Amino acid sequence: MKIIRFYETDNHVSRFEEIDIPFPESKTDAGYTYHLSRPFEAGAILAELPVGLNQDWHVAPNRQFVVVLTGRLEVEMNDGEIRQWGPGEMFMADDTGGQGHRTRVLDGPAKLLFMRVPHNFDPRASMTS
């Protein structure tokens, strides 16, 4: 599964990158095969952000996956690159230092699921360490 991750660079600015979450395990049920990622520890939080919210530069409070349940979010990097996510889409906010990013709620309220992951979590790993 490809998702967008934003992270802090060595120059202390945030950048977008596409990463691939592997699905190394396969299961078969009633003749259908489905695929699973490796399990990972995560603390879940739900949030509702009001339409029109326009956050100035800030960092992610934790390394976290963000799933947009309703509404539409826009995130901007300091180089001017902007991405948007709507219902059912997911990204990884991983810029816990530096200048950070700007966030705007375009359609809302935006209901979000935050899944906080440990500092040593590697989203590209295909097996549990």
CATH number at residue 46: 2.60.120.10
Q: What is the pLDDT along the chain (129 residues), one digit of tens a residue?
A: 899 999 999 999 999 999 999 988 888 988 889 888 888 888 999 999 999 999 999 999 999 999 999 999 999 999 999 999 999 999 999 999 999 999 999 998 999 999 999 999 998 887 544
* pTM metric for this prediction: 0.85
* Structural domain includes residue 35: no
Q: What is the pLDDT of residue 64?
A: 96
* Structural domain includes residue 37: no
Name the residue range of residue 8's domain. Answer: 2-19+42-116
Q: What is the pLDDT of residue 95?
A: 96
- Sequence letter at residue 33: T
Residue listed under structure tokens 């949030």: 47
Q: Please, are residues 76 and 85 in contact by the beta-carbon 8 Å criterion?
A: no
Buried-state track 56-83, b at ≥16 Cβ within 10 A, e below 16: eeebbebbbbbbbeebbbebbbbeeeee
Q: What is the pLDDT of residue 3?
A: 94
| Residue 125 DSSP code | -
Count up the domains in the chain and report the number.
1
